[in-house]
Amino acid sequence: MSNFAVEFVPLLIDKHFYFSNARDAALSAGYNRHQHLSSEESRTAGPLIMYFKQLLNERCGCASYVIASRKTLEAAIVDPGIETEAYEALLRERGFRLLYVIDTHIHADHVSGARRLAAQFGSELCLYESAQVAYPFRPLSDRQELELGQLRLRVLHTPGHRPELISILIVNPPRSPEASMVLTGDSLLVGDVGRPDFGGGDVAAQYDSVTNLLRLPDWVAVFPGHFEGPCGKGMCGRPSTTIGFERLYNPLARLDRREFINRVGKGVPPRPLNMTAIEATNRGRADIAWAMMTTSPEVPEVNLDELRSRPADAALIDVREPEEFASGHVPGAVNLPQADLASRLDEVPRDRAVMVICQGGFRSLRAAQFLKQRGYSDVASVKGGTEAWRKAGGEMSVKCDADKSASAQQPAIVETEWTHAGGDCYSI
């Protein structure tokens, strides 16, 4: 163990953060796990095992989880996507009874399948008590425990990415009084933390939440809500990690509060594709589930010559954020940020060729694929994007005279190197 860990761990471990009561805390002192198993528990240890499965969605970079007691066959699903067939099949095959469907927060990058599953299986739909949604749910509070057979799902309120975000500690008391796993939603990610810049996010709260999570014991396995995608900017790609590893090697873990706020708050990725429609749908204020990318259609990529010689009536849609667009864009381009594409789809003409452009070509490819999914037949993505245009000496327009001063500043948007969502690997 490094000097850092030796000095850091005793100072920061706060047992009350993860032990539900004084008895658990007392048991943890001088802990010997064999002494905690009663003879009865030892005899029945086989049936007391748990089931745990992580499901990864390559298209949106999201992770969801199925947790069950093999003793009672009671199950919970955390952060399910809208394509619920895989969960349904798993529940059927295993004979599990779905008690709880939990969203760790209101998602902005994918449509949740929580309401669909809860309705289908008669399960409780669970969210943190402060969640602002237009449908009924079971409100969860900090430190509350949900029983799942012999398992306990312990709620930790870990705001920052979203104000209502929770993490969930998984405890299997017959095996150990201590948690062995934590589902962190978009608080602590592998090599990163969740972005705090939308939906009431708060970078200072994120610091506090991540600091608290890092007080858990080294051995606790971390299962995040994302392994890649637009909710962070430096995820390493692994779908899980441990508290000990992140405490030592997460580049944000050793920063003090001020450094953390500066680093995490500065330079955020663009808002996710169709975020406006997806978030409204997940809050129950709209029904735009079709905003979710569920296919990976082939879309042509055009080069700069083809961009220059495009038909006179072709629409050129720039899907970057407004500040990026204001700082310089290809003449004739119209700004429609990817976050608003589904909610403003009627602004994209269906009777003419459509070319989509962004900074480097990745966002535009995803946006063009989405348009194709929605039935646009003559749609293409500009390879290399505005950056390639600028490097080739192309003329740049700014949004208007009033924006020229803003254009002198570098936009605070950073491109991520997330490349798996529905296309070939693509250099930004």
Q: Which is nearer to Fe ion, 231 or 354 (CB)?
A: 231
Burial 317-353 (b: 16+ CB within 10 A, else e): bbbbbbbbbbbbbbeebebbbbbbbbbebeebeeeeb
Q: Is the dihedral of CA 151, 155, 156, 161 positive or negative?
A: positive
The label of the residue with tokens 């296919």 reads 295
**Residue 299, number of CB atoms within 10 A of its CB:** 22
**Residue 200, number of CB atoms within 10 A of its CB:** 14
Count CA within 13 A, CB hemisphere, residue 398.
Answer: 13
Using alpha carbons only, how large is the chain's radius of gyration in Å?
24
Q: Which is nearer to Fe ion, 200 or 394 (CB)?
A: 200
Count CA within 13 A, CB hemisphere, residue 40.
Answer: 0
Closest by Cα among 6, 4, 2, 15 to 217: 15
Q: How far, in Å, are 140, 158, 160 from residue 129 at the CA level?
A: 5, 13, 15
Q: Which is nearer to Fe ion, 178 or 186 (CB)?
A: 186
Least distance to Fe ion from the beta carbon of 416, Å? Answer: 14
- State the DSSP code for 352: S
For the chain, the farthest-separated pair of C-alpha atoms sits apart, in whole angstroms, at: 81
Which of these ranges, 137-145, 148-156, 181-189, 367-375, lies near Fe ion under the rule CB under 5 A?
A: 181-189
The residue number whose beta carbon is nearest to Fe ion equals: 186
Q: Which is nearer to Fe ion, 163 or 384 (CB)?
A: 163
Which of these ranges, 178-186, 314-322, 353-361, 372-380, lies near Fe ion under the rule CB under 5 A?
A: 178-186
Active site includes 358? yes
Q: Is 186 in the site for Fe ion (CB under 5 A)?
A: yes
Least distance to Fe ion from the beta carbon of 120, Å? Answer: 24
Which of these ranges, 24-32, 141-149, 183-191, 278-286, lies near Fe ion under the rule CB under 5 A?
A: 183-191
Least distance to Fe ion from the beta carbon of 108, Å? Answer: 6
Report the alpha-carbon distance of residue 272 to residue 364 in Å, rounded. Answer: 12
CB 286 within 8 A of CB 111: no
Report the alpha-carbon distance of residue 274 to residue 74 in Å, rounded. Answer: 35
Least distance to Fe ion from the beta carbon of 389, Å? Answer: 32
Task: Write the single-letter amino acid at 350.
Answer: R
Least distance to Fe ion from the beta carbon of 50, Å? Answer: 26
Q: Which is nearer to Fe ion, 226 or 329 (CB)?
A: 226
The label of the residue with tokens 């509060």 reads 257
Q: Which is nearer to Fe ion, 174 or 229 (CB)?
A: 229
CA 313-319-324 angle, 5° bins: 115
Binding mask 219-248 for Fe ion (x = CB under 5 A): ------------x-----------------
Least distance to Fe ion from the beta carbon of 278, Å? Answer: 10
- State the DSSP code for 108: S
Q: Which is nearer to Fe ion, 44 or 54 (CB)?
A: 54
Q: Which is nearer to Fe ion, 48 or 231 (CB)?
A: 231
Burial 150-188 (b: 16+ CB within 10 A, else e): bbbbbbbbbbbbbbbbbbbbbbbbbbbbbbbbbbbbbbb
Least distance to Fe ion from the beta carbon of 186, Å? Answer: 4
Instruction: Kindly state the number of chain residues that form the binding site for Fe ion, as judged by CB under 5 A.
Output: 2
Q: Is 178 in the site for Fe ion (CB under 5 A)?
A: no
Which residue among the candidates 62, 231, 358, 425 is catalytic per the annotation? 358
In a 3-state reduction of DSSP, which class is residue 397?
A: strand
List residues near Fe ion by CB under 5 A. 186, 231
Q: Which residues are catalytically annotated?
A: 358
